Amino acid sequence: MKRTVAALVLLALVALAGCNAPIDDGGRPDPLWDRVGWEGGHWYDDPIRVTTDDGLNEREREAVVARAMARIEHLRGEEFRDPVPVAVISRQEYRERYGGGGGRDRFGDQLYEALLLVGENSSTADDRGQALDASVQGFYATRTGEIVLVSDSATPTVDRSTLVHELVHALQHQQLSLGVATETQDARRAQLSVIEGEANNLQTMYADRCGEAWDCVERPTRQGSGGGDSDLNLGLFLTIFAPYATGPDFVEAIRDRGGWAAVDDLYAQFPTSTEQVIHPETYPDEEPVSVTVADRSNDDWNRYDRDPAGDTAGEAAIYAMLWANGAIDQQGRTVYDYDSRYSAGWAGDRIVPYRNGDRDGYVWASEWDTTADAREFVRAYRAILASRASERPAQNVYVLPESDAFGDAFRVTREGQRVRIVNGPTAGALPAVGGDE
C-alpha cells in the first residue's frame, strides 16, 4: 500500500476495529435467475454448516461469502453485479505488504502539528502507519474489487463483521460511488463518513439478526490485536476513526428522512464538512465558510509550493486535538462522540504552512458561527498552550520549551468570529511568518 492519495482512499475503506453447494439443510430452491437476496447458490436465510475452529477452507469460505452477500442484498435492497473475491492474510503479511510509515512530508506534518497532534519528534505518515498496522482488520481494494481480510490467529480465520463491512464497500463500488474528495482533509472525512457510516449501519443490522432471525457463523476468538499499540497516537487515530464513529448516526438520520433512497442521494451530494456529519440537521444547507489566509510573511518565509491555499482541518479534527490535549472534560463521556462546546460552532478554517530553509511555521485562520463560539475555542486553545508554555514574552504569545514535541512560539488572536494562530520556531519569527499584529 503506497502512501499516496490513492492509497489513502483504499485505507479509508478499512474495517477498524463454505462451498458452492453446501450441505442442503432445507433451504429454498435456487431461482431461475439472480435476484436480490440470493447469491452463489445461497438464499439469505439458508443455513450452512462450516467449521470455524480450524479456519475456513476455500469451499467453506465461498459459502460464507455468498450467503453474506445475499443477506446484505436483502437488507439493502440492492443487487451485487459481480462476484467479490476474498483473500485472508496474516497480520505480519499485512505489515510487510501494506503497512509501515511513509517518511516525512513537511506539508502534511505541519497540518497535524498545527492541530497539536503530531510533534516534531515524529511524522504523520509514521504515526498513521502505526495506527493502521495495529488496528486494520480488513479492506476493500477498489482497483481490483477484492476484499483482503487480516487474521490475527495462526490459522487464517474470517471475521463475520469485518467481512460484512467490506462486502458493503464492494456493493457501494458496484452500485453507487466510492470516489473520495481530494480538496481538503475535512471534505475527505465527510465523504468517508457516508461510506463508512452505511457500512457500519448494515454491519450492525446484520449482527442484530444473528441468533434471532438468522443462523450465523460464529466469530473467531481474538488472539491479540497485533500488539504494539501502547504508543498509539490517540489524537491522530481519532481523526482517522471519525468517519466510523460519526458516519453511522449521520446515515441513520438521513435514512430516517427518506429511506434508502435518501442514502443513495448522498453519493450524488456528499456532505461537504464533518460539521454536517456531526450535526446532521446542518446537511445540506449549512455549507462551510470559505476561509482565506492573506500572505503577510517577509521574503525569508514562503508558502509551500505544493498547495499555496493550504488545507482545512474541520470540526472532527479540532475535536480530536482538544480531546488529545486534555481540553475537553472527559468525565462521563465517550471519546468517540466528536461533539464539544469548544469545537461546535465551527464555520470554516484554513491552515497554510510556511518554510524558511529547514525551519517551518504556519498560519491557521478559522471562522466561527458566533463571537461566543470563537471565544470558546480560543479559551480552550490558549489553555492548552498556557499549561505547557515556558515563556509569555508578549500578550497572546506563548513559547513552548524545546523539550516539548511542539516546542515553538505561538500567537493566538481573535477578532469577532475570526481566530488567527501564527506559529514559528521563535517568538521573533512570528512577525516574519504572519506579519505584525
The DSSP code for 221 is: P
pLDDT in tens, 158-182: 889 999 999 999 999 999 988 777 7
Quote the cell numbers at residue 252: 441513520
Tell me the pLDDT band of 21, cut-offs 50, 70 and 90.
Answer: very low
Confidence band (pLDDT; 50, 70, 90) for 16?
low
Quick one: which H or E segment has residue 172?
helix 160-175
Instruction: Tell me the mean pLDDT in the region 287-303.
Output: 96
pLDDT at site 331: 80
Mean of all residue pLDDT scores within the chain: 89
Q: How many CB atoms lie within 10 A of CB 332?
A: 5
How far apart CA 335 and CA 324 sit, in angstroms, is 9
User: Taking a C-beta distance cutoff of 8 angstroms, is the pair 80, 173 a contact?
Assistant: no
Question: Which residues are CB-contacts of 211 (< 8 A; sequence separation ≥ 6)?
Answer: none
Give the tens place of pLDDT for each residue, 24-65. Answer: 344 678 888 889 999 999 999 999 888 766 677 888 889 999
pLDDT value at position 233? 92
pLDDT bucket at 11, cuts 50 / 70 / 90: very low
Share of residues in the chain with pLDDT > 70 (%): 89
How many residues would you count in the chain? Answer: 437
Asked, as a colleague might, if the bond just before 22 is cis with ω within 30 of 0, I would say no
pLDDT (tens digit per residue) in 357-397: 999 999 999 999 999 999 999 999 999 999 999 999 999 99
Task: Name the least confident of 186-190, 215-219, 291-295.
Answer: 215-219
Is 50 exceeded by the pLDDT of residue 213?
yes
> To the nearest whole percent, how much of the chain has pLDDT over 90?
69
The per-residue pLDDT for 121 is 87
pTM: 0.90
Three-state DSSP at 371 gives helix
Instruction: Give the residue from 317, 320, 343, 353 showing the smallest Cα distance to 419.
Output: 343
- 330 band by pLDDT with thresholds 50, 70 and 90: confident
Comparing 8-12, 205-209, 260-264, 362-366, which segment has the lowest mean pLDDT? 8-12
Give the tens place of pLDDT for each residue, 401-432.
999 999 999 999 999 999 999 999 999 999 99
Query: What residues does each domain of the chain span?
Result: 5-266, 302-434
- Inform me whether the pLDDT recorded for 144 exceeds 60: yes
36-47 confidence digits (pLDDT tens): 999 999 999 999
Lookup: cell for 79: 443487487
Q: Which stretch, 12-26, 210-224, 252-266, has highest mean pLDDT?
A: 252-266
Distance CA 422, CA 361 (A): 8
* pLDDT tens column, 78-135: 999 999 999 989 888 988 888 766 667 889 999 999 999 999 888 998 888 888 887 8
